[in-house]
Amino acid sequence: MGNRPDELRALLESVAKQDGPAVEVVVVGNGSPVPEVPAGVRTIELPENLGIPGGRNVGIEAFGPGGRDVDILLFLDDDGLLARTDTAQLCREAFAADPRLGIVSFRIADPDTGVTQRRHVPRLRASDPMRSSRVTTFLGGANAVRTQVLAEVGGLPDAFFYAHEETDLAWRALDAGWMIDYRADMVLYHPTTAPSRHAVYHRMVARNRVWLARRNLPAVLVPVYLGVWLLLTLVRRPSRPALKAWFGGFREGWTSPCGPRRPMKWRTVWRLTRLGRPPVI
């Protein structure tokens, strides 16, 4: 967003220090000018904020249609920092070792405490963030994607703007037979924050949750999935303004176009269940 030049510079330095072949970098200014960057770093300045998925999709296209000029794409938030110099090499080795591995989700840790927030472990059993495992979704600001996945299932859903776009792509990838790994040894330092710091958080989370279900789930599971999330939201007892925004987004999710509907196969539902997260939770 153009308001963290020091953090961006530190991130780019951490990418430049990666072992092995140099990592080609593109910085997307999502509706904002791009600060000064090191030589060799390409930049794209968008005239308006396209949202997180829209901005990332523009970054994908910078590497050819669907990113086809490269084998792997890293997506890194501009206020993050690669903690180690071997992360890129670990990515290369992971994808080379497993031809069905489509996406790798990094571990996000606070740079001062080293603590990984529970919400940053993309599975239900999140008490041990140091345990790597197969998962059913990934973290948008710290991940690597095989570009063949994007060629097969498409990119992130632009219209989501913010929230759940990663799960939409993850479910489509899993339905196409790809797998997703959470790797505790691939670390992005990122300051501890609350997602609710964004003014649109409650509305977007609710709207996009409905879109996610309408686009991807078998019809019989849509009301079950959304009913569970409605109950969970009420149990968490958000403030009155937050709850009002949430219900507004929930209603918007039903009344607005969600994009093409491609319900996942029942074998994908079973795969998600075996991985510990059936698509009703």
For the stretch 176-232, pLDDT in tens is 999 999 999 999 999 987 775 556 899 999 999 999 999 999 999 999 999 999 999
pLDDT digits (tens, 9 = 90+) for 88-106: 999 999 999 999 999 999 9
Q: Which residues lie across from 145 on neighbouring strands?
A: 73, 103
pLDDT for 193: 76
d(CA 83, CA 106): 11
CA 271 – CA 256 distance, rounded (Å): 30
> With pLDDT > 90 as the criterion, what percentage of the chain qualifies?
95
Contact 138, 121 (CB under 8 A): no
| pLDDT at 29 exceeding the cut of 80 | yes
Q: What is the reported pLDDT for 197? A: 53
Average pLDDT of the residues of the chain:
96
pLDDT at 43 over 60: yes
Mean pLDDT of 134-149: 98
Q: In what helix (H) or strand (E) does residue 181 lie, and over which residues does it extend?
A: strand 179-189
Percent over 70 (pLDDT), the chain: 98
The two three-digit tokens of residue 118, written as one number: 């529970």
Task: Let me know how long the chain is.
Answer: 281
Q: Which residues of 125-161 are buried (b: 16+ CB within 10 A; e: fewer)?
A: eeeebeeebebbbbbbbbbbbbbbbbeebbbbbbbbb
Per DSSP, the residues of 22-68 read PPP-EEEESSSPPPP--TT-EEEE-SS--HHHHHHHHHHHTTSGGGT
